[in-house]
Amino acid sequence: MKARVHVSLKPGVLDPQGKAIGNALASLGFTGIGAVRQGKLIELELSETDPLRARATVEAMCKELLANPVIETYAIDLS
Amino acid sequence: MKARVHVSLKPGVLDPQGKAIGNALASLGFTGIGAVRQGKLIELELSETDPLRARATVEAMCKELLANPVIETYAIDLS
């Protein structure tokens, strides 16, 4: 089973990396760009085949290591 | 219109950051983890409302700045 975890900064948390990307895009001539936010994408291969248990495991991984719950949110996709 | 760009390393390209995450998860006691890959997630707000033109613009942004087409692939989600 494959899990994809999207980790992104909570709304309101300053994102200087996203800001830098937005500025770089503007300086390349792209227009009409609003807010830009950068997050992380983590892809995991799991030997677990039960979706419910896999989700619980990945949820625990997010809380313990993959995301900082103080400033980040995460979303889990299983396939 | 909102665009989400997933940038990940091509298969076969060494991913030390993903490897480090895999090792850290194993040392925390998580088992049954295969390959771990880390990528980037970039969220953009666009003033463009036509999905076709928005996709073309984001595709150009990926080629020029957001992804390194030599070692990375990207996927674009519009919403």
Provide the CATH number for the domain around residue B40: 3.30.1280.10
- The total domain count for chain B is 1
Q: Which of B8, B27, B40, B41 to mutate to test the interface with A (most CBs of A within 10 A)?
A: B41
The DSSP element (H or E) to which A59 belongs, if any, is helix A51-61
Average pLDDT over residues A49-53: 94
Share of chain A above pLDDT 90, in %: 99
pLDDT, position A49: 93
Structural domain boundaries, residue B48: 2-78
pLDDT, position A35: 94
Q: What angle do CA A65, A55, A50 make, to 5 degrees?
A: 135
Q: What is the pLDDT of residues A4-36, one digit of tens each?
A: 999 999 999 999 999 999 999 999 999 999 999
Q: pLDDT 10s per residue in chain B (79 long)?
A: 999 999 999 999 999 999 999 999 999 999 999 999 999 999 999 999 999 999 999 999 999 999 999 999 999 999 8
**Distance between A27 CA and the closest CA of chain B, angstroms:** 11
